């Protein structure tokens, strides 16, 4: 097979010697493989495979259309020059012009004193000008030297060295800078530099200038290997305003040694309590009060597994510090001895340390046996177990060491039936189930008020907790129980693929004696005869409308303890409306909030985005973001303002402005992350939306 396709010249007139080449005049068309060059005149030097042509040359190849005045091109080597180029590349839709275009190998172009844009011909909204620009479609990377961006005729950004992806892949080089303004730091400019070290290593080094505080250096290094993956993030600065060096470190690493043995490391540290308030995004601010420093090893046996955890926390912005677990060894297994008999054993040994509270080594073991009787329409599962714990306690200072132990039998009986019927709603076949369930638990009372509370908490009453033996999480409190839980739930799902559309459940627990075990000794034992009533309803009503409602109702004093109602309407990507009401009187102070968030097209190109999380007791929004997005095809603008509460109960307002140039990335601080957490279902990219 001939490796190189022949060169074919067609013209009004041709003269020359067949071996040595030809010169042609008049509508010259030269083709070679998938290359086609049209010009008024053209010469082909066969031995050197060199094609020259002139005055209005058009050179097309799959993926690029080039126009120019004169062409001098070595076809096989893909090298040469084209003067006065005007080019359009189809991968990544980059087009532009320049003084000269140089071919530097296949799919590699260099444009001298040229400009480039991704806007359609005739739309000159923005151009990237550069003294020299390389477009390398083999590695899909574009580089511009002495580049400056002209937007609607106004130069808006200069950068000595700018780099942009040609297929929005990962790119080494200066990401476009982001600037924002907020009431804590004033003007805030971040200039990230992305370094694509290798396919599975990359780093982002960013210099961030904060008007009130000075210059902060930050770095994020990520690695992704078959056996291990991880990220290291470091930020640091000398803070002018607080006269202190402030830094934050985060190191997360997951590794699988064998398919059974794995490890996960999560170490985070900040220099001071208000680091996140000053420098972090909203979600990071609110939830960062306890930064973990932990290493976890895990081993998965055939039907057993075990974990070894070393964990300590750095606590910021509050007084109470969680216990450190240095270490905690957990184990659980369910060996299969007898057919039809389920045996399981779990256990744990933990060394809890705390600077002020009682320290101690707690070890417990909890073997269980159950006999599940299961048929297609019913199940009946008696289960018995013994929870034995031992505490070797001492005061924080080491004195007053004492031993405590607790052994409690646990008896439970779980049973349920499955009813089904077929439904036909609007022509589609559905199946509805009716699932009554009864769950009895008996655990005798054992005084536990003199046991410390290392890792137990009262869990919210939910359908998940209704069918658990112990209403306390962790292992320091095991509630005494003589109770029966009754629940009825019904699910509707599509007959042909079994996808759950709707679900409704109602349940309540009936106590046959008082519950004496409490979390702390100064809580009052409860003498309620039944728990709150639980109701939950939810699902997709139409393909784009879904709603859910949960209620926890105290039947004694006839009042709602906790309730949430949510609605989501998402007719198409780019149009979403969420409404959520929540009230929780279990918390002190109780919270009652309305959360409305939406992203909606206002006109063909304008989109409105908004979210308000309004706290009724405080009569003020705790988090509000409002913004506008304009999509003009090859560029777009997003502006947003966000006002939210920080964990020192003050408010922080941040203004985002970003100009997104399709193919170049964004200039200005990008509110997309904030919008994505604020508006569930928010779609960021413009292409996905219906115009």
The residues in 76-95 that bind another protein, with binding defined as CB under 8 A, are 76
Phi and psi at 673, nearest 5°, equal -60, -45
Separation of alpha carbons 502 and 188, rounded Å: 47
Q: Pick the stretch among 173-181, 185-193, 281-289, 625-633 that binds another protein (CB under 8 A).
A: 281-289
- 584 makes contact with another protein (CB under 8 A): yes
Does residue 600 belong to the site contacting another protein (CB under 8 A)? no
Please identify, using beta-carbon distances, which residue of 22 and 71 lies nearer to another protein: 22
If we measure between CA atoms, which residue out of 239, 258, 236 comes closest to residue 247?
236
Stretch that binds another protein, among 134-142, 235-243, 356-364, 644-652 (CB under 8 A): 644-652
| Dist. CA 381–CA 373, nearest whole Å | 6
Instruction: Find the shortest distance in angstroms from Cβ 339 to another protein.
Output: 10
- Compute how many residues bind another protein; rule: CB under 8 A: 107
Cα–Cα distance between 302 and 294 in angstroms, integer? 26
Residue 471: CB minimum distance to another protein, A = 10
Q: What are phi and psi of 286, to 5 degrees?
A: -65, -40
Instruction: Please list the residues that pair with 600 across neighbouring strands.
Output: 608
Q: Would you say 205 or 438 has its CB closer to another protein?
A: 438
Q: How far is it, in rounded angstroms, from Cα 530 to Cα 527?
A: 9
Span of 114-122, 134-142, 213-221, 580-588 interacting with another protein by CB under 8 A = 580-588
| Shortest CB 25 distance to another protein, Å | 10
Contact 332, 344 (CB under 8 A): yes
CB of 690 to another protein, least distance (A): 24
By CB under 8 A, tell whether 227 contacts another protein. Answer: no
For another protein, the closer CB: 209 or 299: 299
Q: Which is nearer to another protein, 90 or 449 (CB)?
A: 449
| CA within 13 Å, CB half, 531 | 27
Note whether 645 binds another protein by CB under 8 A: yes
687 part of the interface to another protein, by CB under 8 A: no
Beta strands in 225-358 (DSSP E): 228-239, 244-256, 261-270, 290-300, 304-315, 324-333, 342-353
Residue 453 CA to residue 444 CA, distance in Å, equals 20
Shortest reach from residue 191's CB to another protein, in Å? 29
Under the criterion CB under 8 A, does residue 226 sit at the interface with another protein?
A: no
- By CB under 8 A, the residues from 243 to 262 that bind another protein are 259
Min dist CB 459 to another protein, Å, is 5
Choose between 455 and 660: whose C-beta lies nearer to another protein: 455
Stretch that binds another protein, among 65-73, 225-233, 571-579, 642-650 (CB under 8 A): 642-650
Query: Which listed range, 123-131, 132-140, 158-166, 638-646, lies at the site for another protein (CB under 8 A)?
Result: 638-646
Q: Cα–chain-centroid distance for residue 38?
A: 51
User: Which one, of 50, 41, 46, 51, lies nearest residue 18 by Cα?
Assistant: 46
Q: How far is the CB of 220 from another protein (least distance, A)?
A: 19
Choose one: 62-70, 356-364, 394-402, 415-423; the region binding another protein (CB under 8 A).
415-423
Residues 491-520 that bind another protein (CB under 8 A): 493-500
**CB closer to another protein out of 151 and 313:** 313
Which residue in 83, 64, 60, 80 sits closest to 72, CA to CA?
80
Task: Tell me the closest approach of the beta carbon of residue 361 to another protein, in angstroms.
Answer: 16
Considering only residues 552 to 571 of the shown chain, the ones binding another protein according to CB under 8 A are 564
Least separation in angstroms between CB 454 and another protein: 7
Whether the Cβ atoms of residue 382 and residue 372 lie closer than 8 Å to each other? no
Is residue 125 within the footprint of another protein (CB under 8 A)?
no
**Which residues, numbered 303-342, are part of the site for another protein (CB under 8 A)?**
313, 318, 320, 322-323, 325
Q: Which of residues 1-60 bind another protein (CB under 8 A)?
A: 2-22, 24, 26-27, 44, 46-49
Q: Which two tokens stand for residue 95?
A: 């087009």
Query: In angstroms, what is the minimal distance from the CB of 674 to another protein?
Result: 12
Look at residues 156, 42, 32, 142 and name the one whose alpha carbon lies nearest to residue 96.
142
Stretch that binds another protein, among 89-97, 125-133, 146-154, 448-456 (CB under 8 A): 448-456
d(CA 14, CA 33): 21
**286 near another protein, rule: CB under 8 A:** yes
A 10 A CB-CB count for 653 gives: 13
Choice from 160, 444, 525, 617 touching another protein (CB under 8 A): 617
Judged by beta carbon, residue 60 or residue 564, the one nearer another protein is: 564
Specify whether the CB–CB gap between 213 and 239 falls below 8 A: yes
Provide the minimum distance between the beta carbon of 579 and another protein in the complex, in angstroms, as a whole number. Answer: 14
Q: Which residue has the tokens 């060491």?
A: 401
Q: Which is nearer to another protein, 16 or 633 (CB)?
A: 16
- Give the nearest distance from C-beta 90 to another protein in angstroms: 27
> What are the CB-based long-range contacts (under 8 Å, 24+) for 365-372?
366/410, 367/343, 368/342, 368/343, 368/344, 368/410, 369/341, 369/342, 369/343, 370/341, 370/342, 370/344, 371/340, 371/341, 371/342, 372/340, 372/342
Applying CB under 8 A, among 90, 225, 245, 287 the residue interacting with another protein is 287
Whether a cis peptide bond, with omega within 30° of 0, leads into 589 is yes
649 part of the interface to another protein, by CB under 8 A: yes
Cα→Cα distances 527→84, 524, 553, Å: 90, 9, 17
**Do residues 281 and 184 lie in contact, with contact meaning Cβ atoms separated by under 8 Å?**
no
458-497: contacts with another protein (CB under 8 A): 458-460, 462-465, 468, 472-474, 493-497
Least Å distance between CB 347 and another protein?
A: 16
- Contacts of another protein in 177-206 (CB under 8 A): none
Q: Which is nearer to another protein, 59 or 561 (CB)?
A: 561
Residue 515 DSSP class: B
In angstroms, rounded to a whole number, what is the distance separating the alpha carbons of residues 664 and 156?
14
């Amino acid at each position: 097979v001939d490796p190189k396709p022949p060169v074919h010249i067609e013209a009004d007139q041709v003269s020359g010697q067949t071996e040595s080449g030809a010169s042609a005049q008049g509508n010259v068309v030269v083709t070679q493989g998938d290359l086609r060059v049209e010009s008024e005149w053209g010469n082909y030097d066969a031995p050197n495979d060199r094609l020259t042509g002139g005055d209005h040359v058009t050179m097309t190849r799959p993926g690029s259309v080039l126009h120019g005045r004169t062409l001098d091109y070595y076809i096989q080597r893909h090298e040469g020059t084209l003067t006065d180029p005007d080019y359009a590349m189809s991968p990544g839709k980059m087009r532009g012009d320049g003084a000269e275009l140089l071919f530097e190998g296949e799919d590699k172009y260099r444009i001298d004193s040229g400009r480039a844009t991704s806007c359609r011909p005739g739309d000159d909204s923005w151009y990237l000008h550069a003294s020299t620009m390389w477009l390398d479609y083999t590695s899909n990377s574009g580089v511009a030297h002495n580049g400056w961006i002209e937007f609607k005729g106004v130069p808006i950004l200069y950068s000595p060295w700018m780099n942009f992806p040609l297929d929005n892949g990962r790119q080494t080089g200066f990401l476009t800078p982001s600037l924002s303004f907020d009431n804590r730091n004033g003007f805030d400019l971040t200039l990230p530099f992305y370094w694509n070290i290798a396919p599975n290593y990359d780093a982002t080094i960013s210099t961030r200038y904060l008007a009130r505080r000075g210059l902060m250096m930050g770095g994020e290094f990520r690695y992704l290997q078959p056996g291990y993956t991880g990220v290291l993030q470091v930020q640091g600065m000398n803070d002018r305003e607080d006269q202190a060096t402030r830094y934050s470190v985060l190191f997360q690493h997951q590794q699988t040694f064998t398919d059974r043995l794995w490890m996960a490391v999560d170490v985070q540290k900040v220099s001071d309590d208000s680091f996140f308030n000053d420098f972090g995004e909203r979600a990071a601010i609110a939830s960062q009060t306890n930064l973990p420093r932990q290493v976890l090893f895990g081993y998965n046996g055939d039907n057993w597994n075990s974990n070894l955890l070393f964990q300590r926390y750095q606590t910021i912005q509050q007084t109470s510090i969680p216990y450190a677990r240095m270490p905690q060894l957990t184990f659980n297994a369910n060996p299969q001895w007898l057919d039809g008999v389920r045996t399981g054993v779990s256990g744990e040994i933990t060394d809890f340390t705390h600077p002020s509270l009682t320290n101690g080594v707690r070890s417990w073991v909890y073997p269980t046996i159950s006999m599940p009787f299961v048929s297609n329409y019913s199940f009946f599962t008696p289960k018995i177990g013994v929870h034995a714990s031992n505490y070797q306690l001492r005061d924080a200072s080491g004195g007053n060491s004492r031993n405590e132990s607790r052994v409690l039998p646990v008896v439970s009986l779980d049973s349920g039936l499955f009813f089904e019927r077929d439904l036909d709603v609007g022509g589609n076949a559905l199946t509805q189930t009716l699932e009554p369930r009864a769950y009895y638990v008996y655990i005798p009372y054992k005084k536990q008020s003199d046991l410390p509370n290392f890792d137990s908490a009262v869990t919210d009453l939910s359908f998940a907790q209704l069918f658990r033996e112990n209403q306390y999480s962790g292992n320091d409190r095991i509630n005494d129980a003589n109770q029966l839980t009754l629940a009825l739930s019904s699910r509707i799902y599509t007959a042909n693929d079994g996808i759950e559309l709707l679900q409704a459940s109602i349940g309540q627990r009936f106590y046959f004696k008082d519950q004496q075990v409490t979390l702390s000794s100064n809580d009052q034992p409860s003498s309620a005869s039944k728990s709150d009533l639980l109701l939950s309803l939810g699902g997709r009503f139409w393909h784009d409308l879904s709603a859910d409602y949960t209620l926890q109702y105290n039947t004694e004093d006839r009042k709602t303890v906790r309730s949430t109602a949510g609605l989501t309407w998402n007719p198409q990507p780019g149009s979403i409306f969420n409404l959520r009401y929540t009230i929780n009187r279990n918390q002190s102070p109780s919270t009652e909030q309305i959360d409305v968030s939406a992203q909606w097209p206002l006109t063909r190109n304008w989109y409105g985005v908004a979210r308000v999380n309004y706290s009724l007791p405080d009569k003020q929004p705790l988090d509000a973001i409002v913004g506008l997005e304009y999509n003009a095809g090859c560029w777009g603008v997003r502006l947003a303002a966000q006002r939210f509460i920080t964990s020192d109960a003050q408010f922080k307002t941040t203004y985002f402005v970003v100009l997104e140039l399709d193919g170049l990335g964004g200039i200005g601080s990008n509110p997309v992350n904030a919008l994505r957490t604020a508006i569930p279902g928010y779609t960021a990219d413009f292409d996905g939306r219906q115009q």
